[in-house]
Amino acid sequence: GASVAPVPGAAAPGTTATSAIERTGGTNVVLGGTHLVALGALLVVLTAGIAVLGFAALKRGENATPATATPTVEAGPVSGSPQVQPDQQAAVPAPTLPEPAPSEALPPPPSPAAAPPARNPASSSGPAAQADAAMRKAKAAPKPPEVVLPPEPLPAPAVEPPPPPIPEVAPITFKDVKVLVVQGKSMRDRDAVLRLAGDRLSVLDRSGQSEILSLPYSSIVQAFYSRSKQPRWKGPDGKDAVASVDLGKMSFFRGDRNWLILTTQADPVFIRFEDADLRAALPVVEERIGVKIQR
């Protein structure tokens, strides 16, 4: 129903608008009713295509992303397009939830040994709790460095001093003594010389050159003096002991004599003194041998 105003100098009716435009050089476009109907149909088709593409995109988004509550919008009838009844609409499938993605690796739970022990509030005070706290403080406190002391030197072994040397004393000699010696089955006296020197008692022959016997002082057990015809002393059992001496043919005329008896682990030793030497000999012998002379 549009009308085009006549252009001055336009062609007669029946000629096309193109010819008029070409002749005048203008830019006006004249649309008729048919053109408008075609343009409207094109718009309807484009709108329907956009709706279809939007619907397809919506379905893809529901399958790829978690379902969200989307309000359903019912599109009204579009002019120039056939209406679709509700019973003719395709059933929209229920949205499917995507499978949950595998959870990231979580750190392992702390071990029971690392967890602090639970404290009993009832036992948080008292002697036991204080002792426990003191023990924990003692364990937590750093230990002082150990001081390693050098080992103490061992004491030197005690060295016993050597025995003092025996003082040298001048030897003492008594001449004109008699000593009993064994001859066969009897004992007879023999002229001798008594010598006390160093640590021993020696009996020499009359000349003083040959030694008859030698007796260390330490070997003498007991010492006895007897004034009798035969030597007399006490044995280890405490009983009297008598030695039998051969005094010769005229022995019954002889009187008592001075006998010194020295007992040892072996046989005793018998020495006879004259009366002139007796008083000087006994004290010296007793001092040198270190044994008291029993009378």
Question: Do β-strands 257-263 and 222-228 pair in parallel, antiparallel, or remain unpaired?
Answer: antiparallel
Q: 93-101 long-range contacts, Cβ below 8 Å, gap at least 24?
A: 95/62, 95/63, 95/67, 96/62, 96/63, 96/67, 97/66, 97/67, 98/64, 98/65, 98/66
Q: Is the pLDDT of residue 172 over 70?
A: yes
Would you say 172 and 288 are in contact if contact means Cβ atoms under 8 Å apart? Answer: yes
Q: According to DSSP H, which parts of the chain are helical?
A: 17-24, 33-64, 127-140, 275-289
Supply the pLDDT for residue 64. Answer: 55
Task: Name the pTM for this structure.
Answer: 0.44
Report the pLDDT averaged over residues 93-102. Answer: 52
Supply the pLDDT for residue 166. Answer: 63
Q: Give the tens place of pLDDT for each residue, 16-32.
A: 444 444 444 455 556 57
Q: Is the pLDDT of residue 111 over 70?
A: no
Supply the pLDDT for residue 80. Answer: 44
Instruction: Categorize the per-residue pLDDT at 202 as very low, low, confident or very high, splitting at 50, 70 and 90.
Output: very high
**Residue 122 dihedral angles phi and psi, to the nearest 5°:** -70, -30
Please count the other Cβ atoms lying within 10 Å of the Cβ belonging to residue 82.
Answer: 7
Q: Which of 94-108, 164-178, 210-224 has the lowest mean pLDDT?
A: 94-108
Selection from 228, 227, 217 nearest residue 269 by Cα: 217
Q: Position of tokens 């040959």?
A: 210
| C-alpha–C-alpha distance, residues 168 and 199, integer Å | 10
Supply the pLDDT for residue 23. Answer: 47
Query: Which residues on adjacent β-strands are paired with residue 111?
Result: none
Report the pLDDT averaged over residues 102-118. Answer: 51
Supply the pLDDT for residue 90. Answer: 44
Task: Give the side-chain half-sphere CA count within 13 A for 109.
Answer: 3
Q: Which residues contact 212 (CB under 8 A, 6 or more apart)?
A: 179, 181, 190, 192, 203, 204, 205
